[in-house]
Structure 1
């Protein structure tokens, strides 16, 4: 385990400049074809198989670039100007590019504890909807300020677009991911905030749960991603959601979600009615978080989130974690009998274990969770026709 975690530092960096230089860029023209299975995370576009950790670094970079090209838009790097200030439990970030500047503030609530600083922290999109351990701080991030998400008219509206242009390819979710990365930069620059930038979790529910997964996938400094009831576009796979709709379950699919809001890029519209053409699916979004922690929950009382789709998607995602020797770093838990975005008592122990392992360094915490709820069947082999290499 110690060797693997050390190797993950060397071979992570899904969107790092070094990875792009080492692995090259996507070809301008990519042959897209219908694949009714969940795409093979261990096969490059050129057909070659992933054989070792160095290969995996390049495959991660390739998948990251594919998500940016076809679904989420481009995440810009750290801007040429970035500064931060801290006062009265508020962290203010200023970002600038080509003489254009924006700034925003996040609030920090500190734990009522005598534990040693700096504190681990949970970054919550919009609002906090999960229980947080006593020793962790909470950072509330107003993601709507960065990238608006009211409806289709929100395209290109928000501080991110004031900085990068209202026709920037980044979807609102990628704009939020960019801003969360800048919050982490600011925490690294501002020790007076007393937050440990190496012990951060990101969380959100529903649309913000989708955003939390995107943020975790595109910044490997986030130790733990907690996606609560994120459904389609989050922990659910597009292909499986389409199959559920064909089987009569009124679940949200790509064809509906692109008409609702601007969470995805304009380019994604072309796949909305044929997700089999996508050269990836969301088991691979989970894979971009590996080997770091990911805990996803879903609620069977709200069928538009999907039933088999989130469960099956995360079961497939666990195969990527398994290839890296850390299958228990991805947990999925599904239940019902509670309101949307209300965290149920029966999942509190699971969540606490993930906090213990990834924010408080308790390697003994049991995070081996794959819990199915609801009355449905799912056979992973109906969706996975690829083998899992041992990469650790």
Structure 2
């Protein structure tokens, strides 16, 4: 008869699983866990991808930047995360485009509708809503495919359930050169972006609509995401690529999910990377170069875990099904937890593979309490996070076998880009094509909160605005003043919001100026 030994370690300790039971209480975590106010807080960070790749059989150092220098301050993580994001998009998932030129929709107590337009193409999808008892507005958990964390537990913890069908956004069973669904209607059936990034994009558009709804039913600042199996892969990607998601809860995600790619190659019985790549177009087309040799990848999933830091993360795995690669999953969690620890947020990540029932995607009693604690802490805003690692010895990974780097002690030094003493600043990024462009403008408050803002910019000669979102505009040509709409005028000190506009002509060379109202 097989006897299990369970390793239970506090995240702060981050000990490697061993042969004896060990327990420890995590220290209080004073680091903020709040989600960012924007989808991608590092969009303005300059990133130059490597010109060539160097083989490395060990996990890449999450704290070493592309230029070879190391992160030394917590403030530098924002732009280091931007590097990891672009590496993950380029080599693993495919590009997740930013918010389209138009996103509209509705939120009710039973349904969310999403309508998107971009470059003359239109698509739409919807999701059902189940509210918990009590009076709103409520936090909410997006459940991919209706198949994730137990919905009764979610609602009992005080959060609504958003049942999102990712197949409406990126359909399975399609060839890579003819992908289907709302995402590919906008970006093309031959897009090199895989389904996981497309599903993540769909979650982001749901959040866009919640933000626009005014917060009468659902709170825009308290969204979680969960899924199991293939939908666990999607939930993991969604939490990594949208910093507005306050809590990510992937379950038994397997190959192409949380487990490190380098470990899956040698883990007995785990789904091979070539199989995961070929089963469905989950991963981006570029990943085909690494299915036989993941050592050439300049990024791995422990760094994708780090992309979620310091926000809430609860990874749940099943050690009874070899195909799921839970040993490699524990390595990813342990490696990513080093980022949490360096940021002073060790209590915000939990991992649990200590389960009795080996049925795939079963509703497990062992997870019920930490699930409730995670939802209440990161979404409802009460109680404390579980902050626990419970790794079954059936699939216990050893991080020391996979790294040559050590976790730095990051300073609390001044931000890399210090905000102004007061008021606000504005920066613009432009996606240009022949004859037109989309501009995304980020408004950042200084050392004091602002109650409202205006952004003024001079458009290049011959340029005309044809559409704008998340702001009202004074004109379509010449010097244009943009003013916040009702829900995005208040910006906390040091935080950001975004608006955008589409135009004909050229969008390069704009220098927006921000004024607080």
**Structure 2-normalised TM-score?**
0.70
Contact 1:331 1:367 in 2 (8 A): yes
Which residues of 2 match residues 274-313 of structure 1 at below 5 A?
274-313=293-332
Determine the structure 2 residue equivalent to 1:235.
258
- Give the direction of change, closer, same or farther, for the CA distance of 1:87–1:158 in structure 2 (3 Å limit): same
More helix by percentage = 1
Q: Runs of 4 or more off by more than 3 Å in structure 1?
A: 1-4, 6-9, 12-16, 151-155
Report which stretch shifted further, 176-185 or 77-86: 77-86
Determine the structure 2 residue equivalent to 1:317.
336
Contact 1:205 1:227 in 2 (8 A): yes
Which residues of 2 match residues 109-128 of structure 1 at below 5 A?
109-111=130-132, 113-114=133-134, 116-128=135-147
Secondary structure at the aligned position of 2:106 is classed as: strand
Q: 1:104 Cα shift?
A: 1.1
Any unmatched runs of 5+ in structure 1?
A: none
- Asked if 1:211 corresponds to 2:234, the answer is yes
- Give the direction of change, closer, same or farther, for the CA distance of 1:226–1:376 in structure 2 (3 Å limit): closer
Contact 1:171 1:264 in 2 (8 A): yes
Which of residues 43, 62, 65 is equivalent to 2:86?
Answer: 65
Determine the structure 2 residue equivalent to 1:198.
221
Which of residues 240, 258, 262 is equivalent to 2:281?
Answer: 262
Which residues of 2 match residues 114-263 of structure 1 at below 5 A?
114=134, 116-129=135-148, 130=150, 131-134=153-156, 135-150=158-173, 152=175, 155-191=178-214, 194-244=217-267, 249-263=268-282
Instruction: Name the CA distance, whole Å, in 2 between partners of 1:128 and 1:7.
Output: 26
Secondary structure at the aligned position of 2:115 is classed as: strand
Contact 2:346 2:387 in 1 (8 A): yes
Contact 2:259 2:328 in 1 (8 A): yes
Q: 1:308 Cα shift?
A: 1.5
Q: 1:87 Cα shift?
A: 5.0
Instruction: Name the CA distance, whole Å, in 2 between partners of 1:232 and 1:370.
Output: 21
Any unmatched runs of 5+ in structure 2?
A: 1-27, 413-517
Deviation string for 1:10-52 (max 9, x for gaps)?
A: xx96834xx343x31323x522111111110000111100011
Determine the structure 2 residue equivalent to 1:344.
364
Instruction: Name the CA distance, whole Å, in 2 between partners of 1:266 and 1:172.
Output: 10
Instruction: Name the CA distance, whole Å, in 2 between partners of 1:321 and 1:14.
Output: 20
Determine the structure 1 residue equivalent to 2:112.
91
Instruction: Name the CA distance, whole Å, in 2 between partners of 1:108 and 1:15.
Output: 26
Contact 2:104 2:116 in 1 (8 A): yes
Determine the structure 1 residue equivalent to 2:407.
388
Secondary structure at the aligned position of 2:392 is classed as: coil
Contact 2:142 2:164 in 1 (8 A): yes
- Give the direction of change, closer, same or farther, for the CA distance of 1:151–1:268 in structure 2 (3 Å limit): same
Secondary structure at the aligned position of 1:375 is classed as: helix
Secondary structure at the aligned position of 1:387 is classed as: coil
- Give the direction of change, closer, same or farther, for the CA distance of 1:184–1:307 in structure 2 (3 Å limit): closer
- Give the direction of change, closer, same or farther, for the CA distance of 1:14–1:87 in structure 2 (3 Å limit): closer
Instruction: Name the CA distance, whole Å, in 2 between partners of 1:44 and 1:280.
Output: 11
Instruction: Name the CA distance, whole Å, in 2 between partners of 1:220 and 1:137.
Output: 20
Report which stretch shifted further, 65-74 or 340-349: 340-349
More strand by percentage = 2
Deviation string for 1:340-383 (max 9, x for gaps)?
A: 11121012111111112101212x42422111114355322111
Determine the structure 2 residue equivalent to 1:272.
291
Larger Rg: 2
Contact 2:169 2:181 in 1 (8 A): yes
Instruction: Name the CA distance, whole Å, in 2 between partners of 1:185 and 1:366.
Output: 27
Contact 1:14 1:61 in 2 (8 A): no
Instruction: Name the CA distance, whole Å, in 1 between partners of 2:34 and 2:356.
Output: 39
Contact 2:177 2:190 in 1 (8 A): no
Root mean square deviation of aligned Cα: 2.2
Which of residues 56, 60, 76 is equivalent to 1:39?
Answer: 60
Q: 1:154 Cα shift?
A: 8.1
